[in-house]
Amino acid sequence: MAGLSPRAAHVALGTLARICLYAPKETCMPTQAHPLEPFFHHEVTTIFEGKLGLNDPEIAGYVARVLCSFSEEDRLFIHGGRKGHTLRELTEMIAASDPVFGEAPSFDAERAMRKYIGDYALFVAGMLPEAIDEERVTGDRRPTLGELIRAGRESYHIVSQFNVFEYKKESPMFARLSELFERYVLGLALVREELGKRIMPSERKA
């Protein structure tokens, strides 16, 4: 990865390697449901349908699983007092996902990494505002909301183009996620707001 800082190259390649390692298992093997999945599914469905009119059970189920996945801190690269990827790291992951000019060893790896980027952008834009920079400041900054939305929408669109063989069934869902990406970001922001209302009274009692 010529021209990259050691940190950016390490993050891009490390993320790609981890995704390539686990992606085949995700597509070929049944996975055990996360203990938080029923809870997240209920919250997501209630908000998406009740407040936004987004009646899409397939997407509600998928977004619930995204929330479960990113409930693990290591998926967000939370360390050293910093939350999430910097803009440069996100940009280099996008570049690395290209199987022709980047580091992805196959088109399947490209899909897996683009799926991760879409999931990451959706989660952070909707649920983790502290990992977003409000202005385009200089230096090694975090993405703005607009930059996350563009990266997420584009990545889900690319995933949706994988519409043959084992990926054919999910392809239309990712196309809908791309088309209405901002609406689903808003939906997750409302989920976060609702969860915050429940947590604050519990903290006051404690």
What is the pTM (predicted TM-score) of this model?
0.81
Q: What is the pLDDT of residue 96?
A: 87
Gap between the Cα atoms of 63 and 40, Å rounded:
8
Contacts of 180 (CB under 8 A, 6+ apart): 54
Q: Residue 180 falls within a domain, yes or no?
A: yes
Q: Residue 189 falls within a domain, yes or no?
A: yes
Q: Residue 163 falls within a domain, yes or no?
A: yes
Q: Residue 32 falls within a domain, yes or no?
A: no
Q: What is the pLDDT of residue 186?
A: 97
Contact (CB, 8 A) for 132 and 98: no
Distance of CA 75 to the CA centre of its chain: 10
Gap between the Cα atoms of 194 and 123, Å rounded:
16
Gap between the Cα atoms of 59 and 49, Å rounded:
11
Q: What is the pLDDT of residue 201?
A: 58
Q: Residue 182 falls within a domain, yes or no?
A: yes
Q: Which residue has the higher pLDDT, 154 or 199?
A: 154
Q: Average pLDDT of 136-165?
A: 90
Instruction: Quote the number of domains for the chain.
Output: 1
Quick: pLDDT tens for 39-92: 999 999 999 999 999 999 999 999 999 999 888 755 555 444 456 788 888 998
Domain extent, residue 137, equals: 6-27+37-205
